Chain A
């Protein structure tokens, strides 16, 4: 029992360490795209460790196996990349000096975020001219 508790405590500490590093990275890294790396990755292992510790605790010490944690992991893995991509897209759209330095798509069309914005801008101009 002592060994199980020690193992659970150790896993919680590992998780806490990675969560701390994730938050530290968010505060320390210099620009948005670099900052995005810390919370999307360091926190997955942090939360993952917490959930493994929770499953071990309830299965071994309380004697009531719990499987909720698997769902939390699943939802986290589904939502973290989507959030990161939405933040990145907003950043690309809002940062004008970035538009010149982005690598090309290697295709005849541009990046989806910017192409859509240009299309919107065009349609707005068209509307303005018709109103005028």
Chain B
């Protein structure tokens, strides 16, 4: 089973994406979707040998809900700063976020989340992959920003992936 489907979740996602792409549910398209879901993970498995383990699927839904809400909030906040603040008056700076996460998939998810949410963009990773360089658009308390990232996102990702 593992040899046939090296990434079962990826296989399901590819099949669903294919059916969404063609925008019609017919037997033929479902067969093509299943074929792609088998062939693509099989061909790419040498480049992605480990499987991410999702330990709590329910937590993924909750996490996506939180991130979507934060994206809306962050958009309004950044729009306010862009419109009503002079660019030079924004106290921007880099901060270092030490990571508790160890798997590549979890760190990727965290870096992506940081970029999409309030006033922060992830810029770089330390060479050993244990801390993240984050740029804040406006912050007067860098420690609070780091604590918020760790508590709001990293803790939840750790529950999901590790």
Contacts and interface: CB of A to CB of B under 8 A. Distances in A.
A84 B115 contact: yes
A102 B94 contact: yes
Contact of A33 (B82, B83, B123): B123
Given A29-B82, A92-B124, A106-B98, A40 B115 contact: yes
B79 A18 contact: yes
B141 interface: no
B95 interface: yes
Interface string A56-68: 0000000000111
A94 interface: no
Interface in A76-90: 77-78, 80-82, 84-85, 88-89
A36 B135 contact: yes
Contact of A34 (B76, B111, B131, B137): B137
A25 B75 CA distance: 12
Interface in A9-57: 17-18, 21, 24-25, 28-31, 33-34, 36-38, 40-42, 44-46, 48
A128 interface: no
Nearest to A109: B127
Contacts of A48: 71
Nearest to B75: A45
A34 B127 CA distance: 24
The binding surface of chain A is classed by DSSP as: helix
A44 B96 CA distance: 25
Given A30-B88, A68-B23, A104-B96, A109 B128 contact: yes
B27 interface: no
Interface string B109-149: 00110111001011111111111010101000000000000
A42 B21 CA distance: 26
B14 to A, nearest CB: 12
B96 to A, nearest CB: 5
A50 to B, nearest CB: 13
A71 interface: yes
Nearest to B23: A68
A92 B79 contact: no
A60 to B, nearest CB: 18
A80 B111 CA distance: 11
10 contacts: A24-B82, A34-B90, A38-B82, A42-B78, A71-B20, A103-B96, A107-B127, A107-B130, A109-B126, A112-B124
Interface of A: 17-18, 21, 24-25, 28-31, 33-34, 36-38, 40-42, 44-46, 48, 66-68, 70-71, 74, 77-78, 80-82, 84-85, 88-89, 92, 101-113, 115-116
